Amino acid sequence: MISLRRAVACILALTPIVLAGGPARAQADFPNRAIHFVVGFAAGGGNDIFARLVVQKFQENTGATTVIDNKVGAGGRIAAEFASRQPPDGYTVLVGASGQMPIASAIYPKLTYHPTKSFIALNMIASFPLVLVVAPDSPAKSVKELVAFAKAHPEKSNYGTSSPSFTIASELLKLKTGMPAVAIPYKGTNESNLSVMAGQTLFTISDGPPAIPLVKGGKTLALAVTGSERSPEIPDIMSMAEAGYPEVDTQFWSGFFVPTGTPAPIVAKLTAELGKALADAGVQASLRKMAVVPGGPTGEAFQKRIDAEIKTYSDVVTAAKLTFEQ
């Protein structure tokens, strides 16, 4: 008969093996309950639509139960703060955008989370350039003419902006060209585009969905898209690099993130399955209809891009002496 002392010793010896098996089984069984995808913007907005397109296909492919949680407010920062505090088990995935990740990190010194320290980057969903637009009857028909006009008539040079993200994009244009311009705030990029149409502002730098229909309809005139490549939606419009300003390269994006500490096997599984959903032809076509480029870097490459963007945006904020209320 085994003595009580030997029995206890055997139990204690086996305990680490049993405990170690718990997390391993949880990772192997992942997912065995609903995965919550946290979106910091309202239903029907660009980032929400991006998420729903990919998550629906992810659910179809994996059979996983998914929930879209819209936690709206503070330019997406409420959602990021919430997600950063959740258990790192793969069941909370943040749908993060440029504004609440590298841009917020660059402009808010008291931010309670960090894009690459509080989170692990999984997949970029899509990226998109911005569009520099003026009125059809503007005296400037090119970026160089706009810069020359603003320098010659600083009292007439202003721009519409609806958030720190678009302010930084416009201030980068000013820094790289030497042109003056005063920011005029609006509630959204729809309004800032309309302000150009109405002659209230000289130009605006906008995201594609509100700008491109107006450009195609002849209501506004696009001078360039930011970056080195033209937009497939308006292929006749040159890039900023072609216009002679390659450093005006603001590209916004949306992507998936999990809290730091999430086990590597779960990170790998999520990255692979979300990548498979993103590669679906139907998902890609739907994203392209929104004037974005589907996909992008994943994992470490994505994280490095974010760190580089934080530095770029921080340099703009410092050089332009910008301050924003948190």
Structural domain includes residue 21: no
pLDDT band of residue 299 (cuts 50, 70, 90) is: very high
Contact (CB, 8 A) for 173 and 132: yes
Q: How far apart are CA 96 and CA 127, in angstroms?
A: 12
Structural domain includes residue 193: yes
146 and 215 part of one domain = yes
Q: How far apart are CA 106 and CA 227, in angstroms?
A: 20
Contact (CB, 8 A) for 156 and 126: no
125 and 260 part of one domain = yes
- Which is more confidently placed, 20 or 118? 118
174 and 185 part of one domain = yes
Residue 11 pLDDT > 60, yes or no?
no
- Beta-carbon count within 10 A of 15 CB: 10
105 and 143 part of one domain = no
> Exposed, middle or buried, 307 (CB in 10 Å: 0-12/13-18/19+)?
middle
CATH value at residue 44: 3.40.190.150
35 and 125 part of one domain = yes
pLDDT band of residue 188 (cuts 50, 70, 90) is: confident
- Beta-carbon count within 10 A of 153 CB: 12
CATH value at residue 200: 3.40.190.10
Contact (CB, 8 A) for 114 and 104: no
Where among 225, 260, 285 does a domain terminate?
Answer: 225
Residue 306 pLDDT > 70, yes or no?
yes
Q: How far apart are CA 194 and CA 213, in angstroms?
A: 12
SS3 276: helix
Contact (CB, 8 A) for 287 and 53: yes
At 246 the pLDDT is: 96
Report how far apart the first and last C-alpha atoms of the chain are (Å, whole number): 70
Displacement of CA 305 from its chain's centroid (Å)? 12
Contact (CB, 8 A) for 58 and 281: no
Structural domain includes residue 245: no
Domain containing residue 217: 131-225
